[in-house]
Structure 1
Amino acid sequence: METKQIKNCDIGEGTEIGDFVSIKDSEIGSNCRIWRFVNMYGCKIGSECMVGSLVEIQENAIIGRETRIQSHAFICSKVEIEENVFVSHGVKFVNDRYPPSGNSDAWESTTVRQGASLGTGAVIMPVDIGENAMVGAGAVVVDDVPPNAVVAGNPAKIIDYRD
């Protein structure tokens, strides 16, 4: 029984990939760890990243180096996550404000800046999350988050700033 389907990929030296994965048309940097039951296609992952079990990363998503993506996260097309970001368990990104639009040209992009941290179960609409910002667990982010801001709630509001 074949447990890995890896097709048309550029995988860096020292990268470990678990069983029961499907990775197609993707670029993965060196010294990464991809856990079991991961689905990735048409994406780019920087070096020294970790992708947890049961994660899906869609085409045209970009993940910067030294980023950790915990289990059950969903990263859709048009998401860019910069370096050294923490994406906790069950974070979901949305690129279609009015699903199902059926028109990928209408999808919107999201950028998560360097050093940001996204809490468990957060939902991230098409926004810009600033450098070193922190999104609380369960937050629904519908507006841009300034650098160093701490946001929480539904909809997420600024509750503090990080030093």
Structure 2
Amino acid sequence: MDNKLSEKEKMLAGKPYKAFVPELIEERTAAKRLVWEFNNLPPDETERGKELIKKLFGKTGENFVIENLFRCDYGYNIHIGENFFANYNCVILDCARVEIGDNVLLAPNVGIYAAGHPVHPMPRKEEYEFAAPISIGDNVWIGGNVVINPGIKIGENSVIGAGSVVTKDIPPNVIAMGNPCRVFREITEEDKLYYFKKMRF
């Protein structure tokens, strides 16, 4: 391990690091203050909510909606595109970069976890953690109660079925579901005709 790097530098480089050092505690505390204020705003103060999210995140589009309750670790590692929507109880553990494209929809209770711990108990007892970036492409819809694990890429236009646990990359233009999440089928031009199952527009 490279002892010349700070714990934050190790975290951002995908190396084993220790999270409970003053610099990272301060940054998480600053994020928690903004998240607390966001989650406790009156429901009609949407513009103030957007201001707080813009201050918290590394990048946002102009048009986005995040319902409360929302949680994250640092905020500055979260980059969202235009027309982003996160429904209730979204959790993003952004110890590494979380890149989310345009027109992405998150259903309630989605967990995006760039953070992880070693499998062996000894380094866990020594408080080592790691983080790996997550990328979600344009036009992705992620169903309720989905968990996305560290280091995952989800290709553009894909749909992740409710309750899935995503442990491997998902290609573009597919419906994927299950635990572990697997490709069910490709999305086709015929799908444009229906809004739900075989119910036509």
User: TM-score over 0.5 for the alignment?
Assistant: yes
Give the Cα separation in 1 of the matches to 2:127 and 2:179. Answer: 26
Give the Cα separation in 2 of the matches to 1:147 and 1:5. Answer: 36
- Structure number with the bigger relative contact order (C-alpha 8 A, sep ≥ 6) is 2
Show the counterpart of 2:47. Answer: 16
Residues 5 and 22 in structure 1, CA contact (< 8 A), matched pair in contact too: no
Deviation at 1:44, TM superposition (A): 2.5
Give the alignment partner of residue 110 of structure 2, picking from 68, 81, 91: 91
**In the alignment, structure 1 residue 49 sits paired with structure 2 residue 73:** no
Show the counterpart of 1:76. Answer: 93
Deviation at 1:60, TM superposition (A): 1.0
Give the Cα separation in 2 of the matches to 1:42 and 1:83. Answer: 15
In structure 1, give the amino acid aligned to 2:114.
Answer: N
Deviation at 1:5, TM superposition (A): 4.5
Give the alignment partner of residue 164 of structure 2, picking from 139, 145, 157: 139
Give the Cα separation in 1 of the matches to 2:154 and 2:171. Answer: 7
> Which segments of 5 or more consecutive residues in structure 2 lack a partner in the other structure?
1-35, 39-45, 119-123, 189-201
Deviation at 1:52, TM superposition (A): 0.6
Show the counterpart of 2:42. Answer: none
Q: Comparing both structures, which one devotes a greater share of its residues to strand?
A: 1
Give the Cα separation in 2 of the matches to 1:149 and 1:45. Answer: 26
Give the alignment partner of residue 61 of structure 1, picking from 78, 103, 107: 78
Show the counterpart of 1:9. Answer: none
Runs of 4+ in 1 over 6 A off after TM superposition: none
Equivalent positions of 1:20-31 (< 5 A) are: 23=52, 27=54
Give the Cα separation in 2 of the matches to 1:76 and 1:65. Answer: 21
> Which segments of 5 or more consecutive residues in structure 1 lack a partner in the other structure?
7-14, 29-40
Residues 111 and 128 in structure 1, CA contact (< 8 A), matched pair in contact too: yes
Equivalent positions of 1:122-133 (< 5 A) are: 122-126=146-150, 127-133=152-158
In structure 1, give the amino acid aligned to 2:93.
Answer: C
Give the Cα separation in 1 of the matches to 2:51 and 2:69. Answer: 11
RMSD: 2.6
Length-normalised TM-score, structure 2 = 0.60
For residues 66 and 46 of structure 1, do their structure 2 counterparts lie closer, same or farther at Cα, with a shift above 3 Å needed? same
